[in-house]
């Protein structure tokens, strides 16, 4: 439990410094920021660049909000974070978000602003961009016309 608390408190400093370092990286204004923020083994759903994974993040007008911790591993070795962002002016900062995985590192990393942190972004490490989706649709037929078997249509649920 002490590791989780340590990671949580270290994470607060990291999360506070992350938006400016990540923005510098994403907008291309500071290439070294990418090296400081992303681990060399970064991979999210098979993509080795976060801008490949979420193309909205390539926009020069992207604005990042303060990340939040979604889940911390029981051993305190990594955490899932959610980063809210907007594209362009006039959109709410929480309009979009992406989630990724960060890990604790033994040697502190110095971000471009000078803040030293003990986490870096590694992504979810999945090899493929695959997902599964379920759906259900209710079909309600209001006509009284007979179908091919000379009986009225019947309401039904369609799942897939």
Residue 82 lies in a domain: yes
Residue 128 lies in a domain: no
* 146 domain-assigned: no
Residue 113 dihedral angles phi and psi, to the nearest 5°: -80, -5
In-domain check, residue 99: yes
Q: What is the pLDDT of residues 65-115, one digit of tens each?
A: 888 889 988 887 888 999 998 887 666 666 788 899 998 887 776 766 676
Domain count across the chain: 1
* Predicted confidence band of residue 4 (pLDDT cuts 50, 70, 90): very low
Q: What average pLDDT does the chain have?
A: 78
Of 17, 7, 68, 80, give the one whose Cα is nearest residue 44.
80
Using the Cα atoms of residue 140, residue 144, residue 148 and residue 154 in order, give the sign of their dihedral.
positive
**This model's pTM is above 0.85:** no
| Domain presence at residue 114 | yes
Q: Which domain holds residue 39?
A: 2-121
Residue 122 — very low, low, confident or very high, per pLDDT cuts 50/70/90?
very high
* 100 within a domain of the structure (yes/no): yes
């Amino acid at each position: 439990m002490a590791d989780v608390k340590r990671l949580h408190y270290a994470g607060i400093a990291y999360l506070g410094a992350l938006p400016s370092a990540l923005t510098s990286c994403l907008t291309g204004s500071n290439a070294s920021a990418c090296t400081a923020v992303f681990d060399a083994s970064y991979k999210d759903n098979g993509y080795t660049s976060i801008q490949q994974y979420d193309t909205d993040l390539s926009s020069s007008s992207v604005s990042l909000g303060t990340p939040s911790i979604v889940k911390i591993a029981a051993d305190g070795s990594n955490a899932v974070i959610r980063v809210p962002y907007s594209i362009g002016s006039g959109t709410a900062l929480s309009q979009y978000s992406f989630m990724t995985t960060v890990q604790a590192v033994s040697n502190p990393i110095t971000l471009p602003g000078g803040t030293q942190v003990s986490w870096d972004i590694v992504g979810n490490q999945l090899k493929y961009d695959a997902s599964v989706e379920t759906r259900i649709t209710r079909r309600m037929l209001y006509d009284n016309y007979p179908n091919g078997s000379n009986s009225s249509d019947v309401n039904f649920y369609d799942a897939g």
